Chain A
């Protein structure tokens, strides 16, 4: 028996006017994983997350959450999904106790003890107005609200982008604690790659509205190598392995490749590469070879 993916998309696309924000996205996020969705601003990360939780409707393809379509069966999906939107919107005029009441009244599996416990540990007073809290505290409140729903899937859109380094660390720390309690799948987007490796075990690289790479971080780091060797032999390498990035000097060439088997040629010096470098290589690759204008592609097909 295979587990139902927490999020599964099939040729998913979203178009605004004639511009595709996300295109032909097929993806399965395994249950229990912590997946980072990385890519530059405007890559389609928010679009993908909003499609997943059905805040917006797809222009093409299909998306299922925990096996259900949130569009067709919102009453089945919504209670099982926690979402923290970008800039963690909250009712700023509400006191924290009132915000908790909102959570309690709007969610059948609401865990008030969890919410109050978390906020007490974070030292955020319940009678405080939300607008008066710091950005980091507001982010923690938003996370608390999402966690107290007792979701099976937690979706976070740029949760740490607006936070200072200390608040960022604290936020990710408390997220990891929640994950450690088990039974939770997390998908979070970020344009900051650093720190993600500590938190996440899966990675999806998104650029210009398309998926560039998806897989477990272990597998990704394990399969990518930096090769340095004779320039003349670069083409031979490219025949067997997928070259992600290359740079040349007069005689030498440096290749970042996704390995497909062993490297037989002893003239190549092989090095392991860090996750951040791999991600940057994939994003840099996009800048060099822009994808076909989707509109033209549509006309051609």
Chain B
């Protein structure tokens, strides 16, 4: 039974291997490069003791990788592709009617289903962990400098594995109902990304109430690791009201393009600002919540699929 399940997953495993080869081909050279620049520019030292001189390096370091980060964003497809791929052989079994062959061997239907589901689960677990490991290594330097909560969330911690499980369960549930592999794959993709993008855009930031901070002097707190939802920065007169633009212009140091704090104080102009954000230390709480959501959906879909297979097939 295990051999049969493995044999039926063979093509899909091969495709999954190709997908991961692509991921590695992108992630390995760029990751090594990012790490070497991180070392060359002494980013770690700067993070430990941020001096005025090296702070520019930090900002530049993040901006520098924008284009490659954009490419890597496409790897958000990987959990969906792999998960759906894992479920396809079982769906094919129902589309082609070969389940009638499988269920009339000497193995009971319950055992057949258990082995098939176990193999899908193992595949989802391994590929989820592999993607997580690759991406966590790749994003390491970027997470040190920037916000892991905001930019690294989709690729790290628990969620990539949870997404993979969810995609597999979704394709399985849709597939056993429709018994059309092509349609099931397409529909699973659409539902997967509607949900992922919906949660990413509108759900995740509400897992815990956002923190709001405002300040009236200097640049405010260090929010480098935080997920900033909105922020405002500006200048006003100490007694209230808008400052004269000419005054501000006169306080601008031409060489550094920075405002001279002493000059501003002299003209009773104060810097103020405020930010609404999710603190960096909520990363694992948010991971647990999101993985919990997709995990619960996975369990529900698998239970539904099992019920459907046992009760509604034929």
Contacts and interface: CB of A to CB of B under 8 A. Distances in A.
A48 to B, nearest CB: 13
Of the listed residues B1, B8, B104, the one surrounded by the most CB atoms of chain A closer than 10 A to its CB is B104
Nearest to A142: B101
Given A106-B1, A106-B4, A90 B109 contact: no
B106 A83 contact: no
Interface string B82-111: 000000000000001110111111111100
B108 A78 contact: yes
Given A74-B108, A78-B108, A107-B105, A85 B100 contact: yes
A50 B4 CA distance: 23
B109 A98 contact: no
Interface in B108-139: 108-109
A107 B106 contact: yes
A213 interface: no
Given A50-B314, A98-B7, A105-B4, A90 B106 contact: no
A142 B105 CA distance: 12
B217 interface: no
B105 A103 contact: yes
A106 B97 contact: no
Contact of A55 (B98, B106, B108, B314): B314
Contacts of A101: 3
Interface in B262-314: 311, 313-314
A83 B104 contact: yes
Contacts of A263: none
A17 interface: no
B41 interface: no
Nearest to B99: A89
Of the listed residues B3, B313, B314, the one surrounded by the most CB atoms of chain A closer than 10 A to its CB is B314
B103 A55 contact: yes
A87 interface: yes
A94 B8 CA distance: 9
B3 A105 contact: yes
Contacts of A109: 106
A73 to B, nearest CB: 10
Interface residues of B, number: 22
Nearest to A75: B108
A79 B4 CA distance: 18
A10 to B, nearest CB: 21
Interface string A83-125: 1010101111110001001110111110000000000000000
A83 B100 contact: yes
A102 B106 CA distance: 11
A149 interface: yes
A149 B105 contact: yes
Interface string B1-19: 1011001100100000000
A53 interface: yes
A226 interface: no
B104 A55 contact: yes
A81 interface: yes
B11 A93 contact: yes
A56 interface: yes
A41 to B, nearest CB: 17
Contacts of B98: 89-91
Contacts of A79: 106
A89 B108 contact: no
Contacts of B109: 74
Contacts of A149: 105-106
A109 B8 CA distance: 23
Contacts of B108: 74-75, 78
A89 B100 contact: yes
B314 A56 contact: yes
A53 B104 contact: yes
Given A50-B314, A74-B109, A90 B101 contact: yes
A89 B106 contact: no
A92 B96 contact: yes
Interface of A: 50, 53, 55-57, 74-75, 78-79, 81-83, 85, 87, 89-94, 98, 101-103, 105-109, 142, 145, 149
The 8 closest A-B CB pairs, nearest first, are A106-B105, A83-B104, A79-B106, A85-B100, A56-B314, A89-B97, A89-B98, A107-B106
Interface of B: 1, 3-4, 7-8, 11, 96-98, 100-109, 311, 313-314
